[in-house]
Amino acid sequence: MLRFRATALVAAAALLLAGCATGPGLAKTHSARRTVAAGSEATSTDPTVGSTAQPNKPADPAFAAERLRLVDPCAVISKDVLETVGTPSRYTSSSYTRCSNYMKDKAGKTLNVTLDLGYSLLSTEVRKATKQIAGLKSVEQKLNSSACFVSVVTQEDPPQAVRVQIGTGTDGAEPCDPGRKIAEGVVRKLKGNPQRYNPPKGSPVEVDPCAVVEKADLVNPLGTTPRAQSFGLHACSWSGQSAQLQLDFKTMRIPNDLRFNDKQTELDLGGVKGYAVFKDGPFPTCDLVVVRTRDSSGSGEVAQFSAAGSKEKEFDRCQVAAGLAKAVLPKLPKA
């Protein structure tokens, strides 16, 4: 389903306490640190972003999107980082850029830690980033006495961060302090030689979703001047007056029968199969999933093409999603 930024903070709060499955299909490797320029043309469409921020300019080359897309987040919140605040447990990951550890603090109480790399911030959060962690701007949001979000700003336009979420439970200690300590350790790891994914053939993990789509692919039904906005490191959306398209690269379980949804329709995308599901509602949406990789355990990676519009906007959403897929798929890595 399309991700609308206005609901991101609510979703983040819910995810703080949610369990996740181990991320699939991506072996890890170490390599020398790479300095990569952020080359995407897509910038934030939020008019409140400060004009002094240079588009796609990270605070340090270590935080360039091209570099972070390959960094394993579980390795970044490594045992030595988590041991500064307690006793680590098992690592779990549900996406390329998210890792959690449901551990105990030094007093043996609940300490749930979730790290997000390349997290998309609101421009208002950047303006409130008056603290500093490891020489970078930071902002904190304390939802209650047991939950804290610590965001270290790694890029201002579009706004991105290293975000550490802490949940301490009803009997836990103050949550922001361990969040700051972990965030500092994460920044240190990212500036060093973080463990990276070794993606299989066909993996889209390194692809910039905003850059892989051309403007000509977006004219209908968005109009002639669609606005692009990135969400994290692996999703991009394009908006018109009353319609929206989105491209997501993500990890998920791939069913043996490729039945992702009981209501799905199989589409031929030019020799490649896609699986579309139409969802009615105030903003009817069609999500089209195309499998890119799958390992022997059933874990894999997909490209999801979504087309949505207001109820009054009449167009074949699945046909539009399929058109976008046909334009993009030839540009993706071959299996």
Other CB atoms within 10 Å distance of the CB of residue 68: 27
| pLDDT per residue as tens, the chain (335 positions) | 443 333 333 334 444 433 333 444 565 544 333 322 233 333 343 434 444 678 889 999 999 999 999 999 999 999 999 999 999 999 999 899 999 999 999 999 999 999 999 999 999 999 999 999 999 999 999 988 899 999 999 999 999 999 999 999 877 789 999 999 999 999 999 999 999 999 999 999 999 999 999 988 898 899 888 999 999 999 999 999 899 999 999 999 999 999 999 999 999 999 999 999 999 999 999 999 999 999 999 999 999 999 999 999 999 999 999 999 999 999 999 98
Other CB atoms within 10 Å distance of the CB of residue 335: 11
Look-up of token digits 């692996």: 234
Note if the bond before 226 is cis, omega within 30 degrees. Answer: no
What pLDDT does residue 25 have? Answer: 53
Cα–Cα distance between 314 and 288 in angstroms, integer? 18
Length of the chain measured in residues: 335
Q: How many CA atoms lie within 13 A of 54 on its CB side?
A: 7
Question: What is the DSSP code (8-state) at residue 108?
Answer: S
Other CB atoms within 10 Å distance of the CB of residue 200: 18
What pLDDT does residue 27 have? Answer: 58
φ and ψ at 59, to 5 degrees?
-65, -25
What pLDDT does residue 56 have? Answer: 86
What pLDDT does residue 9 have? Answer: 36
What pLDDT does residue 322 have? Answer: 97
Q: Which helix (H) or strand (E) holds 73?
A: helix 73-76
What pLDDT does residue 108 have? Answer: 94
What pLDDT does residue 26 have? Answer: 67
Helix (H, G, I), strand (E, B) or coil at 304: strand
Q: Which helix (H) or strand (E) holds 126?
A: helix 123-127
Helix (H, G, I), strand (E, B) or coil at 145: coil
What pLDDT does residue 220 have? Answer: 87
What pLDDT does residue 98 have? Answer: 98
Beta-sheet pairing, 98-105 with 91-95: antiparallel
Asked whether 243 and 307 are in contact (CB, 8 A), the reply is: yes
Whole-Å CA distances, 46 to 79, 124, 226: 38, 10, 14
